[in-house]
Amino acid sequence: MELSVLNIKGEDTGRKVTLNDAIFGIEPNDHAIYLDVKQYLANQRQGTHKSKERSEVSGSTRKLIRQKGGGGARGGGRVFGPKPRDYEFKLNKKVKGLARKSALTYKAKNNAIVVVEDFTLEAPKTKEFVTIAKNLKVADGKLLLVLSEKNNFVYLSARNLEKANVITASELNTYSVLNAVNLVLTESSVAVIEKLFNA
């Protein structure tokens, strides 16, 4: 699949980028996507919920007042209440790779990928980032911008925008790709993604 490279003004630079069919043109696997998204969301959970059990309630363990008729709640802890726990679970590398390729394939099929030439901002300017998004015609819905390497000015410019997310190619994950309406790749990030997925 060939895409034109645009500049930040939304103009065609005349250059083309070929998206590798082994990454952007596979047969999508919905179950792999489900597992990868489930793992991502599970890993975001803090798991710090806690309620006291009977043995942890302070005071005597003897029954101090009658159960009913006193006008108050019976007190005491909750039987089998929630305890702090870790929700993380293991997922094989191959399944994660398949899920990410499937997510990228869906974006390619829906013509929701835009390639922009590498750019940087001289200072963190949200207004400038919004202008770039409008020029690229991706300002309507959620957008995910993938950079080849960290760029603090670009990241800080998008941080306050609810519908924009900036990550590097090495941080690319299934949930972020599917959660965005448009996927914006910088020219150099395409090569990094191919290198990572073919490794």
pLDDT at residue 58, rounded to an integer: 78
Closest CA to 121 of 166, 178, 183: 166
**What pTM was computed for the model?**
0.81
Share of the chain above pLDDT 90, in %: 52
Which helix (H) or strand (E) segment is 196 a member of? Answer: helix 187-198
Residue 65 has pLDDT above 80, yes or no: no
Residue 154 has pLDDT above 80, yes or no: yes
Distance between alpha carbon 174 and the CA centroid of its chain, in Å?
A: 7
Share of the chain above pLDDT 70, in %: 97
Inter-residue contact 120 to 151 (CB < 8 Å): yes
The three-state secondary structure class of 44 is helix
pLDDT band at 69 (very low <50, low <70, confident <90, very high): confident
The token pair that represents 65 in the structure block = 């007042």
How far apart CA 56 and CA 58 sit, in angstroms, is 6
The token pair that represents 52 in the structure block = 């006291």
pLDDT band at 86 (very low <50, low <70, confident <90, very high): very high
Per-residue pLDDT, averaged over 100-112, amounts to 93
Inter-residue contact 175 to 40 (CB < 8 Å): yes
Closest CA to 186 of 132, 127, 139: 132
pLDDT band at 26 (very low <50, low <70, confident <90, very high): very high
pLDDT band at 75 (very low <50, low <70, confident <90, very high): low
Give φ, ψ of 130 to 5 degrees: -60, -40
How far apart CA 167 and CA 160 sit, in angstroms, is 14
Q: Quote the mean pLDDT of the chain.
A: 89
Closest CA to 188 of 168, 164, 159: 168
pLDDT at residue 11, rounded to an integer: 87
Q: How far is CA 72 from CA 64, 66, 69, 117, in A?
A: 13, 10, 8, 69
Residue 74 has pLDDT above 70, yes or no: no
* Listed range (51-65, 130-144, 184-198) with the worst mean pLDDT: 51-65
How far apart CA 44 and CA 1 sit, in angstroms, is 34
pLDDT at residue 109, rounded to an integer: 92
Residue 168 has pLDDT above 80, yes or no: yes
pLDDT band at 199 (very low <50, low <70, confident <90, very high): low
Inter-residue contact 5 to 116 (CB < 8 Å): yes
Inter-residue contact 188 to 120 (CB < 8 Å): no
Q: How far is CA 48 from CA 44, 51, 64, 81, in A?
A: 12, 10, 32, 12
